[in-house]
Amino acid sequence: MAYFRYLRTVYEDQLTQTDQSVIKRLEENMQLIPKSTLSELAKQVYTSTTSLHRLVKKLGFNGYTEFKYIIEEYLEAEENNKFGKISENLYFKETIEDIQITYQLNEEKFSSIVSDMILHNDLYCFGTGWKQKQIVDNFANDLLYYGHSLKTLRNKDDLEIASKHLDENSMIFIVSLSGNMEGYEETMEYISSKGVVTVGVTIHSDNPLSNLVTHALHFLDSSLDLDNHHWSSIPLSFIFDQLSHEYAIYSKDQ
């Protein structure tokens, strides 16, 4: 279920292989959690009460009581969500989960990025691949609807040329799948040194771009784990739709 995928994603650096196995069993037995004591659930997922309590704390809960309460709330919300019952198609369900988790990873960042967009008149966007470019082009068109222009850069050469003209009134989005900055790392370091507000949008991972930028947005995309399958880019597109939505709310308030 999406909630446990979210927890595994957010806390992956703190989790051992054993922790990951226990989380998988918790996911399989999610319906039992609200009705089980700590010791009962520990037996069900083949671990000790001490280990399960420690894992619950690793996942950001104050204790087992809070963990049970949150899981119960999630199950009730899922039960009431008719949209979640439209299809049993695994690809569809995983795509919906990817969008949900992508939103949860970034929900506290969207408003601050939009605030920076409002404060900076000189906006740029660079997509490192074809699909990324399509998404940022759509984003630029959406912003025109609200009276804000964004210049899209075609390639690394454009990025290097633009870097010489950027200043503290500038803001730039870099949209990359891996975030490895291959071929433009020096340019990005130069841009950051000039006090330019930077936004990196990448797959959820510890990558050079995310570590360098002012704001790091991350998305989850299960299609990348499938063999002989296209990259859907739906969760990435959602990030920019959400930013456009946040900007629309700001424009309406004004």
Strand partners, 201: 175, 217
Question: What are the boundaries of each domain within the chain?
Answer: 2-80, 110-253
Q: What is the pLDDT of residues 36-56, one digit of tens each?
A: 999 999 999 999 999 999 999
The pLDDT-based confidence of 2 (bands split at 50, 70, 90) is confident
> Do 174 and 200 form a contact (C-beta atoms < 8 A)?
yes
The pLDDT-based confidence of 252 (bands split at 50, 70, 90) is confident
Give me the mean pLDDT over the 4-15 stretch. Answer: 86
- Residues in CB range of 88: below 8 A, 6 or more apart: none
CATH code, 110-253: 3.40.50.10490
Question: Which amino acid type is present at position 139?
Answer: F
The pLDDT-based confidence of 81 (bands split at 50, 70, 90) is low
The CATH architecture annotation of domain 2-80 reads Orthogonal Bundle (1.10)
What's the chain's average pLDDT?
90
Q: What is the pLDDT of residues 145-179, one digit of tens each?
A: 888 899 999 999 999 999 999 999 999 999 999 99
Fold identical between 2-80 and 110-253? no
